[in-house]
Structure formats: structure tokens, C-alpha cells
Amino acid sequence: MQKQLLNLRFIFKTKVMLRTHHCGELRKEHVGNEVTLSGWVQKTRDKGGLLWVDVRDRFGITQLTFEEGSTNEKVLQTARELGREYVIQASGTVVERYAKNDKLLTGDIEIRVNQLNILNASKVPPFKIEDETDGGEDLRLKYRYLDLRRNTVRKKLELRSRMAIAIRNFLSEKAFVEVETPVLIKSTPEGARDFVVPSRINKGEFYALPQSPQTFKQLLMVSGLDRYFQIVKCFRDEDLRADRQPEFTQIDCEMSFVERDDVLDTFEAMTQHLFASIKQVDLGTFPRMTYAEAMEKYGSDKPDVRFGMEFISLNEVAQGKGFNVFDSAELVVGICAKGCAEYTRKQLDELTHYVKTPQVGAKGLVYVKCNPDGTFKSSVDKFYSQEDLKAWAEACGAVPNDLILVLSGSKESTRKQMNQLRLNMGNLLELRDPNQFCPLWVVDFPLFEWDEETQRFHAMHHPFTAPLASDLNLLDTDPGKVRANAYDLVINGVEIGGGSIRIHDKNTQSVMFKHLGFSPEEARSQFGFLMDAFEYGAPPHGGIAFGFDRLCALFGGSETIRDYIAFPKNTSGRDVMIDSPSPVSEEQLNDLGLKLK
């Protein structure tokens, strides 16, 4: 990669008009060559008799020199006019530097300039175009094109490009066909609101932007495409959260004549290949865990398995001893923080305060210190003897010097709270190493999720997901218990991808719609096309979609997907550069039949 970048002629394979080399290319062996460089002025230093200009392009920085007496007067004059970010073209001779700069690839040489053209002037940029900049996020987003001139930012796009190419190569080698599906479609129910586009020609009617190409990729399987993929924009009008983008990119895939493990194996191999080829990381085989186990052990369907600290149910040892809080709880659950018995009062108060924050929502925290001498000190000593606490420690696998943290309450909320406490402890103990990557397949998700607000079942994944064959008998009697043939890929506690084996027959699909509260007419009007297609020989099929922005962020070691998107929206869903969304003219509204009365 680096080698290729080093030589401009190698890249362009033609005579290069405005430059002979790029700004990261010249070395000692070029000394004596006559060269022309083009780029942006990074910095100028004027020492009176001597003037230095650093010229920058995507590939690097090269130092230009101008000297009173030897450089042509006019050239010197032009050089003195240069400001930051001017676009210039400089020709001259490559000479060896007296004072080398080992921080620059080109630090052994400089160019003694004999011709200088200003290709374009520049205003002083609103923030420094350097790795460490002085611009705040909003300012940088407003001038994103300048932000992208910064190495650190541009490198993220380069990484994204390399990843996209590696994915395309891998999948096309495996006989996947890249197909573009339409962007102006009808709603696909993936749990979010649709962005809609009014139709001018069909007044009063709307297209929807795809939340994903789900139905189209399934139709492509009916068409016999067999293996499809697309690196595709998806749109979801969701409430804003810190790291959400209304438009984002998926690696969307579908395969015919497969069962779950065929899909998992294929995309495990793709993920391994990406990590190996781009990060030189060997991921090994991905463990698989059921949703039920993930919830029980980690209180989350996307556990961070870079560290253990699994949940231990303490109901058996902690209940029936007169401590009402535990006795009345559905779940008493503990985690063991290794080596933390010396936590001070203050540290324990902080943890208690943390679990009581509204974001976690627990009522309190119980701790047991396993002292080095084999005794125990707990916050509930009044209710529990040393023997009792010993039983807790044994259940948790705790040894002297460990600290046991316990929460209690209803199963669902206590698990959620403990998940947050566990992750918090992982952070405090620095167990979540960003350079370590721990993948996990979570399988057998519930098919439905009960929604309190609407008092209805919703599809946990989407309505096209097949139930596990073994649970089909529960569909009518106990739908909440039915498991789906659905899976997620989780890496370091982040959901990277998700998919399922699909329903491929009309009857099951109708039953599914019925359970989701669709009348036969509603199902017909929204998904008639899919049900019809299922009657013309739909093969068994399944697939997956990866969040590409998130995968890039994970590769780049960042938590913010915005950094990996060329022109992202800000946290209020606005593009502050082009100022969108924005009102449209009366005339446009009129044309669309949307005129507000």
C-alpha cells in the first residue's frame, strides 16, 4: 500500500501535468532531480534571507526553500505573498537538507525553488488544518471540506475505502452479486419511522426511503440471484441519540438454500478476513451464545466479552435470612470484581451513587469485601453471618481481595442495571482494551417483543424472520416464548451485524402478520407483492446486514461513527454545511400538492 503511494507515476501511469511527484514522494535518491510539486501551503517561515514553505497534499509534506540572492526576485516576491492553504505549484531542484527531519517521509531533502505559481489563493481557514486542531465540532462540520484536509480525518475515509474494497473482493469471490435496489420505495417496517418523499406526479402520494433493502433482497432470492450483497445507504427517522445518523450504510447480504450456520460461517469468514487483511488481527473462531444465556450472564443481548465478570444468581444463598429487600426480589444477582476488596468508603459510595443515577436506576448497591485474612465485610452485616457471606463468595468464585457487588429487584430491570454496573467496572478496571477484539454470535432471539405502549407484539428483528421450527407449536399458545432463527454479530459489546433465516412461504408469513396485529387487508396492501412472490417458488433463504459505519469506527478505534462518514449530520440531525433540512419554496410545495392552507 505505502509503496504504491510513494510513486505518483505508478499511480497515474501517465504524464502528470501539474506535478511530477506528490508531496510525500521525494527521497535522497532524487537529489539533483528537477521536479514540480503542487499542493497546499501548510506553513511558511521567513527568516529574512531565507524562506521556507511546507507544501502539503494527501500523500505528505515537502519543504520548499527560497533564498535571497540565489532565488529569482519575482519568485521570492510571490513566495512572500503565500498564506496558509494557498494552492501552489512549485518547480525546482531536489537538494539534500543540512538539518534532516526524521518526522517527515521527505525529511532528508528539500526543493530549491526556481518557479512558483499561485494556483489559487485561500482565506485564512477558520481552524488549523493540523492533526491537533483548534476547531470545535460544529465549526469543523460546517467546513467539513477543510476538516477532511486534516490527515487524521482523511485517513478515516481511506480506511473506509479499503474496507469497502476488501468486502467487495471477498464477497464477489464467493459468488455474491452486487445489486442496487431502489431508494424511492414503499415503507419497510424495521422498527423505525420512514423518511417520506412526496410524489409530484402522483399528488397526495409518497415514496418512502428504505430503512433497509430487506424486501428487495428477499425478492432477489425469489429471482434466483442466489447470493446478493450491496453496500447501501439506509434511512431511519429515529429519535436522535448521540451516535445515530438518519442515513447510514449497511453491508446488506442475502443467500439462498442456506441454514443459519451457513450464513454465520460465511460472514464469520468475511469478518475474519477483514480483520486479518486490514488490521493484521487474527480473530479466531467466534463463540456462539443464545440470547437467553447472554441475558442471564451479562444482562445484555450485546455483551462485551473482552472481560468475564459474569452475573451470578445469589437467590439461593441470599434469600430467607431476614433481609427484606432481597427476600422480596425476583432476582438477587452479583458480580465479582477481582482484587477490589481494598476499595475505600469513597469508592464504594461512588459506585452506589452511580447505580442510583437515573440512567442506571437501581435503588441501592450491596457489597461484600473478601478480606485478605479470609473474613468478610459487607454492607449488610446486620443480616448475614460470616458463614452466609462465605457461601456468597463461593457462589461467585470470589477469593480473598475480591469485591462482590450485588443488585436485586425484578429480573428484567436488575439485569439491565447490573449490565451497566459491569461495564462501568470494566472501564474502571481498564478491562475493555480497545486493541483487543472479541467477537460473539448471539443466536435464538425472541421472535416477538411486547410493546407496553401499544399493548401489542412487535417483531424483535423484523416481520420476515422465521421462527425456530422447534417453537412453531407455541406460536398460537404462547407467542412471547417463540424464538426466532435470528442472530447478531457483536464485537466488544457493539452490535455490528444482524440477520435471520426468513419465512419463505405465504402461510407462515400471513400467520406472522396476524400476530403482529395486521388485518389480512393491511398485510395485503403493504406486503402483497412479497406474499405473491412467495407463491412462485421462493427458495429457503436468509441473510444479514452489517452496520458499515460502525464497523469502520471499530476498526479505527473510535466510538463515533460520524468520524467515518464523509459528510455526516450533527447530533441534531442537521447538515450544518449545506444547512439541511431547510424550508422549500411555496412553489415547490404547490407543485407537490403540499401547500399548507
Radius of gyration of the chain measured on its C-alpha atoms: 30
Place of cell 454496573: 421
Q: Smallest gap, in angstroms, from Cβ of residue 481 to ligand ASP?
A: 22
Residue 447 or 544: which CB sits closer to ligand ASP? Answer: 544
Nearest approach, Cβ of residue 214 and ligand ASP (Å):
4
Sign of the alpha-carbon dihedral angle for 479, 485, 486, 490:
positive
Shortest gap between Cβ of 384 and ligand ASP (angstroms)? Answer: 46
Q: What's the min distance (Å) between Cβ of 500 and ligand ASP? A: 5
Q: Give the DSSP letter of residue 532.
A: H
Shortest Å distance, C-beta 119 to ligand ASP: 45
Q: Which is nearer to ligand ASP, 190 or 471 (CB)?
A: 190
Q: In 510-562, at which residue ranges do the beta strands (DSSP E only) sit? A: 541-547
Residue 474 near residue 481 (C-beta atoms within 8 A): yes
Q: Output 214 or 230, the one with its CB closest to ligand ASP.
A: 214
Distance CA 89, CA 55 (A): 9
Nearest to 502 by CA among 447, 456, 548, 457: 447
CB of 422 to ligand ASP, least distance (A): 26
The nearer residue to ligand ASP, 250 or 408, going by C-beta atoms, is 250
**Cβ distance to ligand ASP smaller for residue 272 or 500:** 500
Q: Residue 365 or 544: which CB sits closer to ligand ASP?
A: 544
Dihedral pair phi/psi, residue 317, rounded to 5°: -90, -20
Instruction: Give the DSSP per-residue string, 60-121.
Output: EEEEEEEETTTS-HHHHHHHHH--TT-EEEEEEEEEE-SS--TTSTTTTEEEEEEEEEEEE-
**Cβ within 8 Å of residue 369, ≥6 positions away:** 341, 343, 376, 377, 378, 403
What's the start-to-end Cα distance of the chain, in Å?
60
Phi/psi for 70 (5° steps) reads: -100, -35
Residue bearing cell 436506576 = 361
Strand 439-443 with 288-290, pairing = parallel
Please report how close the Cβ of residue 40 comes to ligand ASP at its closest, in angstroms.
40
Phi and psi, residue 509, nearest 5°: -60, -40
CB of residue 464 to ligand ASP, shortest distance in Å: 7
Q: Which is nearer to ligand ASP, 258 or 406 (CB)?
A: 258
Q: Which is nearer to ligand ASP, 207 or 216 (CB)?
A: 216
Minimum Å gap between C-beta 111 and ligand ASP is 52
19 or 236, CB closer to ligand ASP?
236
The CB-of-212 to ligand ASP minimum distance in angstroms stands at 3
The residue written with cell numbers 455483551 in the block is 303
- Which positions lie near ligand ASP, rule CB under 6 A? 190, 212, 214, 498-500, 543-545
CB nearer ligand ASP, residue 384 or residue 464: 464
Select from 42, 51, 48, 137 the least CA-distant residue to 83.
Answer: 42
3-state DSSP assignment of residue 250: strand
